[in-house]
Structure 1
Amino acid sequence: MTALLVALGAAVGAPLRYAVAHALDGRWPAGTLVVNVVGSGLAGVFAGLAVSGDAWALLVTGFCGGFTTYSSAAVHSVDLGRRGLAYAALTVVLSVAAAALGFVLAR
């Protein structure tokens, strides 16, 4: 059952990630940055609410996992050349900050 909940969450998160990234990515991958920061913030909220079990599988592992994307962020970081290090750092700093803020706000 848990695997089905993960798959269901990912089935919603992944297409939404594609739509956001497709709409916002251009010369600078803003859409990928947005989904990673928003998804990290949501995961922080769910952690702060002490969501667990099946709800965690659906919302965090499934939805947030499908919505966020480390692999695309890594590829964008390489594709951006000299600006890639700044993009990678910005992604990490903003995503961790969003997760922390979401956690604190949910508490």
Structure 2
Amino acid sequence: MMMFLLVSACGGLGAVTRFVFNTSIQQVWKRGFPLATFVINLIATFCAGIAAAAFAFHTVDHGTYLLFVTGFLGGFSTFSTAINEIVSLARDGRRRLAALYCALTIVVPLLCVAAGWSLIALTR
């Protein structure tokens, strides 16, 4: 029960952090590309790569991994918002931008996970 509550609390912290990042980026970025969600998901996937490597190399325990990845990063990252933004761009007739955003949303986070993993793996 305690782990459930802690993961929930970390998820709430992640969601609040996402809100702060999203609001801050949107105040500056006024273009059609949904930069806020993209940046948030890049940060989250990079951190997920670091966490996965740290867990795999026994640098952190399972509980810490769950709190950070399932809790905080689960609340922070927002793949569903990215998909909704892709659909909205396509519905607005901006299909090329939607296709670009879709491709970037799939490919770049994979690279970020790999980069995060490599950062930890190289220090081993």
TM-score, structure 2 length as denominator? 0.80
- 1:106 match: 120
* CA-to-aligned-CA distance 1:9-58 (integer Å, 9 cap, x gap): 11111111112122223432101000101001001001111134210111
Q: Which runs of 5+ in 1 are unaligned?
A: none
Larger Rg: 2
Q: Equivalent pairs: percent with the same residue?
A: 35
Secondary structure of the corresponding residue to residue 24 of structure 1: helix
4+ runs deviating over 3 angstroms: none
Deviation at 1:90, TM superposition (A): 0.3
> Structure 1: how far apart are the matches of 2:79 and 2:61?
23
SS at match of 1:80: helix
Q: Which runs of 5+ in 2 are unaligned?
A: none
Deviates further, 53-62 or 1-10 = 1-10
Amino acid at match of 2:62: G
Root mean square deviation of aligned Cα = 1.2
Q: Which residue of 1 aligns with 2:88?
A: 79
Pairs aligned (count): 107
